[in-house]
Amino acid sequence: MLTTTPAEHADAGSACFVCEGAQVAVSGKRLVSIDKIAFPPACVTGVIGHNGSGKTTLLKLLAGQIPATAGTVRFDGKALANWDRRALARSVAYLPQDPPATRGMLVRELVALGRYPWHGAFGRFSEVDAEKTETAMKLTDIARLADRLVDTLSGGERQRAWIAMMVAQDAKCLLLDEPISALDVSHQVEVLDLVRSLSQSRNLAAVIVLHDINMAARYCDRLIALKAGECIADDTPEMLLKAPLLKDIFGIAMNVMPHPGGEGVLAYVD
């Protein structure tokens, strides 16, 4: 099995998340088994791999949606199991592959849900909450859509609204599971560019599951490849996009060529 050396910027000392010997098993079947991975701030980490490789399970593990059955996952130096649920929700924002229904909900109302961990079900929506909501809509360029129904938005606009909700949450880490899977190319670019911009400008750790290897290479600072639940590669896109390694990851022969624009490389099926 081929592996790469972990990227230098994945230093556990400054990381938001650190997984050490972390495993998730269901009915005796091991879904994820991570020796050690760290996720630093101001870094977009792309998680790639074939279907069933454990990508979504890893994201749910980091989000605290499912517990580790062995090993440890730490956030800000403290084991997830020791975090108060509301305190963790204030720091970690998770967007699943299939977000909840938003029927009858305005964009402003959806974004404002990001403030829920700060005031709770019966808490008062404060001026600070309102300011955070407005700022999030401006940062994600959807302020003009504030009074539109979410269900009337295009796919790209809808994803921006969900990301705005995550920004309003004031989280230190964004976890996104295939946020561009149902979008056309132009909206894919917009969403990934937005995530990268937010990560850099707000010093956020972003972990994003992607199927498009070329989009992942273009917009992620670092790529982690999973196979059968294990991390078999962890490096910069330039170092990870090698034909032998891609074949090991995806089980199909792929070629790699320099990007025509001079920015990195492109992978394609042989």
In a domain, 232, yes or no: yes
Query: Is the pLDDT confidence value at 8 over 60?
Result: no
> Is the confidence at residue 121, as pLDDT, over 80?
no
Residue 85 or 123, more confident: 85
What is the predicted pLDDT for the residue at 89? 92
Please check whether residue 162 lies inside any domain of the structure: no
Does residue 153 sit within a domain? no
Higher pLDDT, 2 or 14: 14
Answer yes or no: pTM beyond 0.85. yes
| 92 in a structural domain | yes
Asked whether the beta carbons of 21 and 31 are under 8 A apart, the reply is no
Average of per-residue pLDDT across 244-256: 91
Express as a percent the part of the chain with pLDDT over 70: 93
Burial class (CB in 10 A: 0-12, 13-18, 19+), 262: exposed
Q: What is the number of domains present in the chain?
A: 1
Residue 126 lies in a domain: no
pLDDT at 1 over 50: no
Task: Report whether pLDDT(13) > 60.
Answer: no
Supply the range of the domain harboring residue 73: 12-98+172-269
Average pLDDT over residues 114-136: 88
- For residue 5, being part of any structural domain is answered with no
Residue 193 lies in a domain: yes
80 within domain boundaries: yes
Q: CATH number for the domain including 202?
A: 3.40.50.300
- Confidence check: pLDDT of 182 > 90: no
Average pLDDT over residues 202-231: 96
